[in-house]
């Protein structure tokens, strides 16, 4: 795992600039730094190395191919590099045991785009073709590794993190209002947007091919793989076997995938929460290992959020070398000031804090850690899938006339509450009666009843800032945001939600959270579920093999129970969050009040200060829990203050 950066501009390449860009990411590569320049072309490449495969100096980057035609800066791992090496044959002579050198040999043999289509792994790379004067930027199929770029008349800048672009004088830090609006809806900024108007995230499964001369550069975005196309095609090619045969195939496939992710020349372990996904990964790791696998979890004093006892029981059953660390509230709160620099742009997933802490614990003993990420998206594990299906069923059962009446009634009631003293009574009533006296909640219920398509209902229900108006000035409705429907919709509503999450929530929230948290402590994280062959296989299965009634991950559970007793797994899902609502009312009250003051909110020129202040007052008075929406505002304001 590494950090990459570079530029191609009209000016002569400057060593001090590229060194500063690479030096901005020491956490992504503490073991080595490499620089390459072509001064006359105005081209520079920078690399920070975290040594995983072939830790010797032979793995130094930027690395040139055997003929010198291709030069690469690479971040990630190619899990099938030994298979590719075998396919290339004995004619190729290698200097090292790194996957990077195999990639270069593949570019020499097949070309950059065809070779990239063969890679199975997590990666972001830049490749300079010295013969054709073409620069290629690429990102892996699911977006596990990040890559930002700015392409303008002045030239091209790129990097693994935004902070590495800041040392370059061409970097444009003008905010993008659309990205800000998207952030408040989702708590993250979806690709290809970034917080800065001129900078984009390279979409997952894509290559950016940059040609021309500095000052006249053109970039062509080429998708080399599509999760959407793969899913829709696979859905039409149904698995021909029985449920038991599918379970056997899943177990075999996962075993092979996990073994390929355990190849490492440095110490390796796994995160273990005791849930289905991480337990499955650890079980297969232990089954394929002659030594106890190192596993890691953190515990909390608050029982509502603590999963450490469950992880401990699973670790004891599997016989892993388990490390458990309990963290207090002070340790959790101490992470909050680190978040703006860690994530580089506004990001408000509350589990980012414990994710950083468990990564820090793991890094004390290993350099690589496997995780169960993507289990919920691939195996229909989210509770909100079932909840949304149930809500839509109620929508469908209610006659249109009754729905219109309900919409008008909620509007009228919300208006009455807004201009009366009744709303103040809400804080003194138990749930759900308190919500019945909150005009914002009532207004949002009416807006939900007005939605006439399942797809839009789902997108509205997963928003972090619910109800109108928007906290961003000039944006009031979901239709104002650039959500683009899928080209070909899956056959069922459940499949739509799973694919929508795979295309956006997974790469832009879950994988961002894990990448930044682990890289902040120089730990490589690998997610075995993120395998294109597994993804395709799961989409060939009937959906009832994944979600039955209100229980998800049916097939995965049945495979897991061969390794771990059912009673150690079957319990309500807790997640990996923090009590942000209480924090901002109590321990973080002064910090929050400062960031949510009227002058601070007005300073950006983008935020609806009156609305945010009203919800802040309702939250602190315990009239209604606005913690999700307010946390997005606080992280946005904290990021602005730190930038």
Residue range 284-294: mean pLDDT, rounded: 96
Whether 597 has a pLDDT exceeding 60, the answer reads yes
Confidence of residue 513 (pLDDT cuts 50, 70, 90): very high
133 contacts 38 by C-beta, under 8 angstroms: no
End-to-end CA distance of the chain: 26
Confidence of residue 92 (pLDDT cuts 50, 70, 90): confident
Residue range 218-226: mean pLDDT, rounded: 96
| Mean predicted lDDT score pLDDT of the chain | 89
The helix/strand/coil state of 517 is helix
Q: Residues of the chain with pLDDT > 90: what percent?
A: 69
What does the block give as tokens for 174? Answer: 């003008």
* Beta strands 70-78; 63-64: pairing state: antiparallel
Quote the strand ranges of 65-201, DSSP E.
70-78, 121-129, 134-139, 148-152, 155-159, 199-201
Whether 431 has a pLDDT exceeding 70, the answer reads no
Of 42-56, 356-370, 406-420, 577-591, which gets the smallest average pLDDT?
406-420
Whether 248 has a pLDDT exceeding 90, the answer reads yes
Q: How confident is the model at residue 514, as a pLDDT? A: 97
The helix/strand/coil state of 44 is strand
Domains and CATH numbers, the chain: 2-225 (3.60.20.10), 229-288+309-316+349-374+493-568 (3.40.50.620), 383-483 (no CATH)
Cis peptide before 432 (omega within 30 of 0): yes
For the CA atoms of 505, 506, 509, 511, the dihedral, rounded to the nearest 10 degrees, stands at -170
Confidence of residue 551 (pLDDT cuts 50, 70, 90): confident
Of 306-310, 520-524, 597-601, 631-635, which gets the smallest average pLDDT?
306-310
**Which residues on adjacent β-strands are paired with residue 47?**
4, 34
Of 12-26, 246-260, 429-443, 596-610, which gets the smallest average pLDDT?
429-443
Residue range 102-114: mean pLDDT, rounded: 97
Residue range 230-235: mean pLDDT, rounded: 97
Residue range 499-522: mean pLDDT, rounded: 96
Confidence of residue 575 (pLDDT cuts 50, 70, 90): low
Q: How confident is the model at residue 447, as a pLDDT? A: 62
Helix (H) or strand (E) holding 527: none
Whether 428 has a pLDDT exceeding 50, the answer reads no
Asked about 2 being catalytic, the answer comes back as yes
Q: What share of the chain is helix, strand, coil (3-state, %, to 5)?
A: 45, 15, 35
- Distance set, CA 348 to CA 25, 345, 462 (Å): 22, 10, 14
Q: How confident is the model at residue 50, as a pLDDT? A: 84
Q: How confident is the model at residue 622, as a pLDDT? A: 84
Q: How confident is the model at residue 259, as a pLDDT? A: 97
Q: How confident is the model at residue 427, as a pLDDT? A: 47
What does the block give as tokens for 186? Answer: 């989702």
Whether 455 has a pLDDT exceeding 90, the answer reads no
Nearest to 126 by CA among 61, 67, 66: 61
Q: How many CA atoms lie within 13 A of 67 on its CB side?
A: 12
Residue at token pair 């035609």? 69
For the CA atoms of 490, 493, 497, 502, the dihedral, rounded to the nearest 10 degrees, stands at -20
Confidence of residue 484 (pLDDT cuts 50, 70, 90): low
527 or 58, higher pLDDT? 527
Those residues with Cβ within 8 angstroms of residue 229's Cβ, 6 or more apart along the chain or in another chain: 488
Whether 440 has a pLDDT exceeding 60, the answer reads no
Angle, vertex CA 247, rays to CA 246 and CA 253, nearest 5: 85
Q: How confident is the model at residue 90, as a pLDDT? A: 87
Nearest to 132 by CA among 70, 72, 74, 73: 70
248 or 440, higher pLDDT? 248
- How far from the centroid of its chain's Cα atoms is residue 197's Cα? 21
Confidence of residue 419 (pLDDT cuts 50, 70, 90): very low
Q: How confident is the model at residue 426, as a pLDDT? A: 47
Residue range 370-391: mean pLDDT, rounded: 94
* Beta strands 70-78; 524-526: pairing state: unpaired
* Beta strands 199-201; 294-300: pairing state: unpaired
- Characterise 133 by phi-psi region: left (phi > 0), alpha (psi -120 to 50), beta (else): left
Whether 573 has a pLDDT exceeding 70, the answer reads no
Residue range 445-454: mean pLDDT, rounded: 70
Whether 451 has a pLDDT exceeding 80, the answer reads no
Give the separation between CA 266 and CA 52, rounded to whole angstroms: 6
Nearest to 277 by CA among 402, 371, 341: 371
Residue range 270-278: mean pLDDT, rounded: 96
591 contacts 335 by C-beta, under 8 angstroms: no
Rg of the chain's alpha carbons, rounded to an integer? 25
Give the separation between CA 534 and CA 49, rounded to whole angstroms: 30
Question: Which residue among 2, 481, 595, 596 is the active-site one?
Answer: 2
Q: Residues of the chain with pLDDT > 70: what percent?
A: 88
Q: Quick one: three-class SS letters along 328-353? A: CHHHHHCCHHHHHHHHCCCCCCCCHH
Looking at 68-189, list the stretches that DSSP marks H as alpha helix, in order from N- to C-terminal side.
81-88, 99-110, 112-118, 177-186
Q: How confident is the model at residue 416, as a pLDDT? A: 55
Confidence of residue 303 (pLDDT cuts 50, 70, 90): confident
Whether 434 has a pLDDT exceeding 50, the answer reads no
Of 13-17, 131-135, 534-538, 572-576, which gets the smallest average pLDDT?
572-576
Angle, vertex CA 289, rays to CA 287 and CA 291, nearest 5: 120
Q: How confident is the model at residue 40, as a pLDDT? A: 85
Whether 572 has a pLDDT exceeding 80, the answer reads no
Residue 331 neighbours by CB distance under 10 Å? 15
**Which residues on adjacent β-strands are paired with residue 46?**
5, 35
């Amino acid at each position: 795992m590494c950090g990459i950066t570079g530029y191609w501009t009209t000016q002569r390449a400057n060593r001090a600039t590229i060194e500063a860009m690479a030096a901005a990411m020491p956490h992504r590569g503490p073991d080595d730094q490499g620089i390459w320049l072509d001064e006359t072309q105005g081209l520079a490449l920078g690399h920070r190395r975290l040594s995983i495969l072939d830790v010797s100096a032979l793995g130094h980057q930027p690395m040139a191919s055997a003929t010198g035609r291709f030069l690469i800066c690479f971040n990630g791992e190619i899990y099938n590099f030994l298979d590719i090496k075998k396919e290339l044959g004995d004619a190729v002579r290698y200097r090292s045991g790194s996957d990077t050198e195999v990639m270069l040999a593949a570019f020499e043999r097949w070309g950059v785009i065809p070779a990239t289509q063969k890679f199975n792994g997590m990666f972001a790379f830049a490749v300079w073709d010295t013969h054709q004067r073409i620069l290629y930027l690429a990102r892996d199929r699911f977006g596990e590794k990040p890559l930002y770029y700015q392409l303008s008349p002045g030239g091209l800048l790129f990097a693994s993190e935004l902070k590495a672009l800041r040392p370059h004088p061409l970097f444009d830090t003008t905010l993008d209002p659309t990205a800000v609006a998207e952030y408040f809806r989702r708590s993250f900024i979806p690709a290809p947007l970034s917080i800065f108007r001129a900078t984009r995230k390279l979409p997952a499964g894509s290559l950016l091919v940059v040609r021309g001369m500095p000052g006249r550069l053109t970039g062509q975005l080429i998708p080399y793989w599509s999760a959407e196309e793969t899913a829709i095609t696979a859905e039409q090619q149904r698995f021909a076997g029985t449920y038991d045969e599918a379970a056997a195939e899943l177990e075999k496939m996962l075993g092979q995938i996990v073994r390929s992710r355990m190849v490492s020349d440095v110490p390796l372990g796994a995160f273990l929460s005791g849930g289905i996904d991480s337990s499955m990964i650890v079980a297969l790791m232990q089954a394929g290992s002659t030594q106890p696998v190192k596993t890691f979890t953190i515990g909390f004093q608050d029982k509502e959020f603590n999963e450490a006892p469950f992880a401990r029981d699973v670790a004891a059953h599997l016989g892993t070398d388990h490390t458990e660390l309990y963290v207090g509230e002070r340790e959790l709160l101490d992470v909050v000031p680190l978040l703006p620099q860690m994530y580089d742009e506004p990001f408000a997933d509350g589990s980012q804090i414990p994710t950083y802490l468990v990564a820090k614990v793991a890094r004390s003993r290993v350099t690589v850690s496997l995780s169960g990420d993507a289990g919920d998206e691939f195996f229909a594990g989210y509770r909100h899938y079932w909840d949304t299906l149930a809500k839509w069923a109620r929508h469908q059962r209610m006659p249109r006339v009754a729905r219109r009446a309900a919409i008008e009634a909620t509007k009228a009631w919300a208006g009455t509450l807004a201009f009366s003293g009744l709303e103040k009574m809400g804080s003194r009533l138990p749930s759900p009666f308190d919500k019945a006296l909150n005009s914002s909640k009532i207004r949002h219920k009416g807006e939900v009843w007005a939605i006439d398509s399942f797809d839009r209902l789902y997108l509205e229900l997963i928003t972090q800032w619910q109800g109108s108006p928007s906290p961003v000035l000039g944006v009031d409705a979901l239709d104002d945001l650039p959500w683009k429907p899928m080209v070909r919709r899956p056959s069922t509503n459940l499949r739509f939600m799973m694919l929508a999450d795979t295309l956006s929530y997974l790469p832009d929230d879950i994988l961002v959270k894990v990448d930044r948290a682990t890289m902040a402590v120089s730990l490589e994280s690998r997610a075995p579920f993120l395998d294109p062959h597994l993804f395709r296989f799961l989409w060939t299965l009937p959906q009832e093999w994944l979600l039955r009634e209100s229980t998800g991950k049916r097939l995965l559970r049945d495979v897991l129970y061969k390794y771990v007793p059912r009673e150690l797994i079957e319990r309500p899902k807790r997640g990996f969050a923090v009590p942000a609502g209480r924090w901002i009312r109590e321990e973080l009250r002064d910090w929050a009040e400062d960031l949510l003051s009227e002058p601070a909110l007005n300073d950006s020129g983008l935020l609806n200060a009156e609305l945010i202040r009203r919800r802040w007052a309702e939250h602190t008075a315990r009239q209604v829990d606005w913690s999700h929406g307010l946390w997005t505002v606080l992280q946005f304001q904290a990021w602005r203050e730190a930038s």
